[in-house]
Every structure is written in C-alpha cells, then in structure tokens.
Structure 1
Amino acid sequence: MRALIHDPAAPHGLRLSDLPDPVPGPGEALVEVAATSLNFGEVAFLGNHQPVGGVPGWDASGVVLASAGDGSGPPAGTRVVTFGWSGGWAERRVVDVAELAVLPSSVDHAPAAALPVAGVTALRAVRRLGSVVGRRVLVTGASGGVGRFAVQLAAHAGARVVALVGSVERGRGLRELGAAEVVSDVGEVGGPVHAVIDNVGGPLLARCYALLSPGGVALSVGMASLAPTTIDFEQARIHNPDARVEAFNIGSGVGPDLAYLAGLLAAGKLDPQIGWHGSWERVGEAVEALRGRRVLGKAVLEVGQLGA
C-alpha cells in the first residue's frame, strides 16, 4: 500500500512511500481509507508523535476490508469512520473496533473524516462543562477545526457562545454556526464567562482564565500558539474564587461519540466546516495552509483508490 510517512528530510516531514499492509490484531478491523483529515497538533508536533518512517494520521473514513478476528465490530463492506493515534494517512489502516462507528448511508467520507479528533474533542469538552444552558461560554481559536465544532455543539447545548478568533476574516460564518458574539480580541469579551474552551494556549489562556466567573472552568484543549501559559493564581484567588483550569484529553473509546456526531451530520444538524479539500498528493499545500492559519475549519485529504 501507499502511505504518507514521517521523513524529517522531506518537505513538511512527509513523503509518500510503499509499505506492507498493516496486520490487524484480534479486536481490530482492517479498513480501506477513502479520506483523512489533518489536525493542527499532528502537523505541528509530527516529530513528537511519530518515529522516522512511521505513518501519522489520527482521523480516517473508509470501508472495512476485514472484520475483527474476534468477531467484534462491523463486517467487511461496512462504511466506517475511525480514530487512532497513527496510521490514518495510508491506503489501509487497522483500528480498534472501540474507536470506529458505522456511517449512515447519506454521509460521505470527506465530511466523516473531519469528525474524529476535532468533533469528539469538542463534544467531550462541552460535556465536561456540565450544564451550559443560558451561560456564556468562550471558545478561543474558534475558526479552527475543534473551535467550529465547539461553537456548534455548545450552542446546541443552550450556551451563549462567544467565539474568539485571530482576525475578523477568520470569524466568517461563525454566527451562522450559532455564535452569539464573534470577537477578534480578548479585550472585547467584556463581562465574565462561565467557561472557556481554549484551543490556543500561551498568554491568551491566562487572560481568558481571568475572565471566569466564580466556580467557572477553563479547559486547555489545544496549543495553537505553541507557547506555554503562566497564570497568576494569587490574582485568581482574589478575583475569581473557585475557578479552575484543566488540561483536557480526548480519551479513548470514541466509537459511540463518533456515531452520535455522524448522526448529526446525517440529520443536517452539524456542519463539518471543511475549509480545504484535495488529494493527499497535495498534502504539502494542506499543511502549509493549516499552519499558516488559512483554513477555516478542517483540511481533508482524499486517499487512495476510494478517494480518487
């Protein structure tokens, strides 16, 4: 099979190569990949996540070629969306059956491929906030993949969503997704917020944490700024007592959440917000666009024969 592998000497650290097909374990399905998506974290920290010669790729949608040997999971021929910490940027991947979901017939592979990391992260982050009905929720980096899903899902949950973006242009379309307010500077947020879903990190997270109402929570979901955060907790104790900050992780066993999100797509209640779409032969363009903050939402690659 062909696959994108991590090669530090290649442009963007990636090159297409020929590899043997992966061999599934007893609880794993073999999937022929039709589409995959890029996440900022796997692009920006490629060398941290993958050894030289490793196949990156967290998200992939495709068709089951061989069902799990232990009899679990869907049979061969089933259209699925999948999650894993590697292997998605290839013509075939193996995936634990707990990390996949069957796709409704009306959902195409490209929008499905946008769901796993960004969609499930946003869904689980919104759940982590507890009830947000009638409460202000600030989403930073709201123009990105996780951000645009978080705006939609928090609005569906009843929150008054404040979408913080890097520029007015990057805020395009967020009101249509459910944002009540769209701002391009944290100073424009104004009064306190019940919660923050932060995709940026760095000094911005500290400024957003200071906006929390007593008992509020800031979830550190991403680090698009590539910068660490320093928080003055002495000031926090004075001005927003009992507020807290948490390092958020997506966790495992995402199959049921993928099925829920795919159902929302099928019902027209969720927009995958694909801002870049093309062949995986153009992965360099996609990486440059993503790292250059020129993608509103998700970058999706069509892969191999199914994606041709």
Structure 2
Amino acid sequence: MRAIVAAPDVVEGFGAIDVPEPVPGPGQVLVEVRHAAVNAGEIRHLDLWPAGRVLGHDAAGEVLRAAESGPGPRVGDRVLAFGPGAWAQRAVFDLDSVAVVPPDVDLSEVAALPMVGLTALRTLRESGPLSGRRVLITGASGGVGRVAVQLARHGGAYVIAAVGSAVRGDGLAALGADEVVVGLTGVGDPVDVVLDTVGGAQLVAAWGLLAPGGVLHSIGWASGEPAVFPVNSTFAPGASRTLRSFGDASAPAADLALLMDLVAQGGAAGADRLARLVASPRGRDRGAAGAAGAGQGPARPGLTHPSGDVSGGFGPGTARVQVDPPDTFPVNPIAIVGIASTNRRPHVR
C-alpha cells in the first residue's frame, strides 16, 4: 500500500512510498483511510521522526477488520481515529482511539477534528468552570483556536480571540468571540484563562495578563522563538498563577465521540449543555453533547469545522488530504494542500 513517510534525507522531509500492510493487534481495528488531516505542527517537526515512519495522526474511514478482543466498531462502520500512522491507505488504531461517526456527519468534515479538537477540549476542561470567566485564545485563527473559541463561548466564557493580523480575525466573531484583537496590546482587563499557541514573546506577554488565580496553557509554539521572562515576572501578590503544558492525547475515543456529536447537532446544541461538556470529566458526560436542548443566550452552532479553504502551501490551522478511491494515493498530496485562515467550508483540489 502507499503511505507518506518521514524522509529526513530529502528537502521536503517526507515521501510517498510503498510500505507493508499494517497488522492489527488483538485490541486494534484495521481502517481503510478515506480522509486524513495535516496539522501545522506535524509539518514543522518532520525532523523528529525516523526515516520510513508512516506520518500523520488524524484519519477518517471505514473499518476493514474489527478488533479480536473487546467491544468496538464493526466491519463497515465509519470511524474517526487519532493515532500514529494515519497518512496511509490503511492504518491500525487502538480501540480507545476510534469513535463511530454519526450517520448524518460527513467523513470529510470531521477528518481534521481529532488533534485540534482534543487539544481545545481537554485544555479548556482542565481550566475548570468557564462561566463568567475571561478566556484569551492566541493564534485564534488556527485549527485549535477556532474550536477553542466555540467551546469557550458555549461554556459561558467571555472570549478574547487574538490573531496576528486583521484579516486573520475574519469569522471569529461569528464563531463566538466577544473581542477579536490583533496582538495582545488591545487586551485591557486581566484574563482568567489563556490558551497560547504562539509561544515566544507572546507567551510572556500573556503571562503578564493573567489575573490572580489564573492559568496559562502553553499548547503550541508557532513563533519558534524563545520565551524570556523578565526578572521577578513570575512573582505577584494574590492567588497563585499557573503555567501549564499540554500533551495528553491518551484514550481519545470518548472525546472524539463528544466532538462529533457537537458537529452533528449544529445549532441545536444548547449553551448549557455545552458548558457541561467542557467542564465534565473526560468521556463521562455523553449527554452533554448527545442531546439537543435550549440554553440561555443567543443560539450558535454546536461546532463548526475548524478548517478553511484549501490553498497552496501550509497556512495556520489544519488541511485535509483526501484518499479516494482507496486503491490510489496522491503522489505528493502534502505539497499541494494547506489551508487559509478563513472559516469557509474546505474543498480539496
């Protein structure tokens, strides 16, 4: 079968080659990959992978072989998956890393959801209750940012979306941002929660905006620059402020199902139910996303797909690579797809 693998000896850092068929273990399913997703961080850090390693983590497709042990998707089920080796015609995933896609959800519309959705959901959940709190999301035009804006808004937060330029802020107000600012100089009052995807000097500036008792989640480093904190800047009177990392993508099946439920509901999801979703322990509150209800405040979509239009190169956010029909594979799909910072429905060329 064809797959995209790490190739550190070439300029691109990857290549499309023939590789052996994957063999599922007892607790794994074999998936025919119909759609895969490209995340900016995966491209930025291609040099971390050994030569020949099948790349990618986000995939959507159909189960070819069910797991030998334990309950799980059946042969023919459409699934969303998160795990290594996704950029191939076929891939194996652990049972706790796949979720069945609802019948009214398009596979291509959720293929780019796993990495960005899990990052946004789990980071906000670790922040505690969001209702009435000020949440700052940097790099808000990217895939993680767009999902985080929606989830934080539905959780009852006052959402400030920070972007690098005015054009990158297009569409964020419609997703739920109360303020859209360029850089952080326009942020006035202190904030309670920060999701930072930029790093560098902006991480330091975001730390300075934290209110007593606030938490800053460092979940990306798009700037590629070091963060240098001024002397004594980590000291402040009042309740302790916290700087946290993120990297827990373990056992994502339940959260993938929650996120897809939001996509399926669209505008029917109530803000009260979504607030419960963000605040609930992992995977325990399927009802928060699985049932529609009327909430307080203006109605907004349950979750809008994080991608934008596909364009040349690698822009911020997430791109989708289509693998269809299953017996073919683009020779160099990553070289021709990326996404722009828009909120329009993606298309693949």
The verdict on a shared fold, with TM-score over 0.5 as the criterion, is yes
Per-residue CA deviations over 1:100-123 (Å, capped at 9, x if unaligned) read: 100001111112111111001100
Aligned mates of 1:38, 1:160 — CA distance in 2: 30
Deviation at 1:134, TM superposition (A): 1.2
Post-superposition offset of 1:237: 1.6
**Amino acid aligned to 1:179:** A
Structure 1 residue 236: Cα displacement? 3.3
SS of the equivalent of 1:249 reads: coil
Deviation at 1:16, TM superposition (A): 1.3
Runs of 4+ in structure 1 deviating by more than 6 angstroms, as ranges, are none
Contact 2:80 2:111 in 1 (8 A): yes
Q: Structure 1: where are the runs of 5+ without partners?
A: 279-284
* AA in 2 matched with 1:67: A
The structure-2 alpha-carbon separation of the partners of 1:303 and 1:10, relative to structure 1 and needing over 3 Å to count, comes to farther
* CA drift at 1:66: 0.2
Cα offsets for 1:75-103 (capped at 9, x unmatched): 1100000001x211100000001011000
1:270 aligns with 2:303: yes
**Contact 2:144/2:306 (<8 A) preserved:** no
CA contact (8 A) 1:91 1:304 kept: no
Contact 1:272/1:298, CA 8 A, preserved across alignment: no
Distance 2:102 2:2 in 1: 27
Tell me the equivalent position of 2:52: 53
Cα offset for 1:130? Answer: 0.5
For the 8 Å contact 2:34–2:59, the answer to whether it is kept is yes
Task: State the match for 1:30 in structure 2.
Answer: 30
TM-score (norm 1): 0.91
Query: Is 2:8–2:50's contact at 8 Å kept on the other side of the alignment?
Result: no
Partner of 1:289: 314
TM-score normalised according to structure 2 size: 0.80
Out of 175, 178, 196, the residue aligned to residue 176 of structure 2 is 178
Alignment coverage as a number of residue pairs: 293
For 1:247-258, list aligned pairs within 5 A: 247-258=245-256
Please name the residue that 2:190 is paired with. Answer: 192
| Cα distance change of structure 1 residues 170 and 196 upon mapping to structure 2, 3 Å threshold | same
The C-alpha deviation readout for 1:130-173, integer Å capped at 9, x for no partner, is 01111110000000010110001000100010000010001110
Q: Distance in 2 between matches of 1:298 and 1:248?
A: 19
Q: CA RMSD in A?
A: 1.7
* Identity in percent: 45
CA contact (8 A) 2:14 2:46 kept: no
Q: Which residue of 1 aligns with 2:66?
A: 67
Contact 1:81 1:101 in 2 (8 A): yes
In structure 2, what is the Cα distance between the partners aligned to 1:304 and 1:155? 36
User: 1:38 Cα shift?
Assistant: 1.1
Which runs of no fewer than 5 residues in structure 2 stay unpaired? 267-301, 329-349
